[in-house]
Amino acid sequence: MTTLKAILKRIRQELKGKEKIRERIQEDMRKVASISKQAILFIHQRKFREAKRLLTKAKEIISRLNEMEKEHPDIIHGGLFNVALQEYAEANIFLTLIEENRFITPAEINVPSMDYILGLADVIGEYRRLALDALREGDVKKSEECLRLMDEIYTELMAMDEAYMLVPGLRRKCDIARKIIETTRGDVTHEARRQSLEKHMRRLEKLEKRFEGLEKGKAR
């Protein structure tokens, strides 16, 4: 007859083994999130090759995690994996928009629809950064294009009424996105007016110089 001590010893060994697996899986999940964030930084720096290399690495880790889901579904669906997938989706959506001027689909990157939507909402913040970079370079037209895309993403997400009930966290992300868009709109409008005023002032200066030249010519 098996003693209680022997039974508990086996259970303890099983739990220790599962804890090691949990730690390894969670480390992979954190790695996916970290790699995806780094890829986004590379995209801002226009280092697309490096960004793609990182996203390929993240894709390999995600594939491995998806395989482990069959054996350890409780660990995989603990919440951390969804965060990693959202970061991964955000990076892929952002890269494809920059390089190909189109929206990549959830199927193309093998990401669940919920994580895709939440990642898409975060892309609005990345486009604010692009808009501010453009303003610093004096490129109002580019910043206006960034703002247009931010508006498009936000408007389409807001049109998905059912998503608010089915996708936890989407309402909060959309509230944040709305504030980001309005702040960016103010920044773009301010810079456009500043440039317009500056252009108008230069035109006046040229007219004044021309007028002064004519007056001097008459005085002679």
pLDDT for 218 equals 58
pLDDT band at 166 (very low <50, low <70, confident <90, very high): confident
Q: What proportion of the chain, given as a percentage, has pLDDT over 90? A: 60
Domains plus CATH for the chain? 19-111 (1.20.58.2140), 114-220 (1.20.58.2140)
pLDDT band at 210 (very low <50, low <70, confident <90, very high): low
Alpha-carbon span 154 to 166, nearest angstrom: 17
pLDDT in tens, 40-62: 999 999 999 999 999 999 999 99
- Confidence (pTM): 0.84
Alpha-carbon span 56 to 50, nearest angstrom: 10
Residue 219 has pLDDT above 60, yes or no: no
Contact by Cβ (8 Å): 154, 178: yes
Residue 175 has pLDDT above 70, yes or no: yes
pLDDT in tens, 91-118: 999 999 999 999 999 999 999 999 999 9
